[in-house]
Amino acid sequence: MKAAELRTQKAQDLQQELLSLRKEQFNLRMQRGAGQLANPSRFKVVQKDIARIKTVLQEKAGSKAQTPE
């Protein structure tokens, strides 16, 4: 997922996506702990996607705070 794609989405949609990625990250951690992780590279991809979404959410929050009334 690209940051440009994320910037076009609404904040509520981004929150939903963030929640689902965090659940996936938790499941991957459990699999890694049990030694059953089938795709180790997926863990890093999920981490980066979470970081991208959090960055875009921060940008959106910052742009709302900076707009003069």
Q: What pLDDT does residue 43 have? A: 92
pLDDT tens column, 14-31: 999 999 999 999 999 999
Rounded distance between C-alpha atoms, residue 17 and residue 35, angstroms:
27
Q: Which residues of the chain have pLDDT under 50?
A: none
Rounded distance between C-alpha atoms, residue 44 and residue 62, angstroms:
27
The kind and range of the H/E element at 2 are: none
Q: What pLDDT does residue 63 have? A: 78
> How many Cβ atoms sit within 10 Å of the Cβ of residue 43?
16
Instruction: Give the ranges where 1-69 is alpha helix by DSSP (H).
Output: 3-7, 11-34, 40-66
Q: What pLDDT does residue 47 have? A: 96
Task: For 3-66, give the CATH class.
Answer: mainly alpha
| Domain edges within the chain | 3-66
Asked if residue 22 lies in contact with residue 50, where contact means CB atoms within 8 angstroms, the answer is: yes
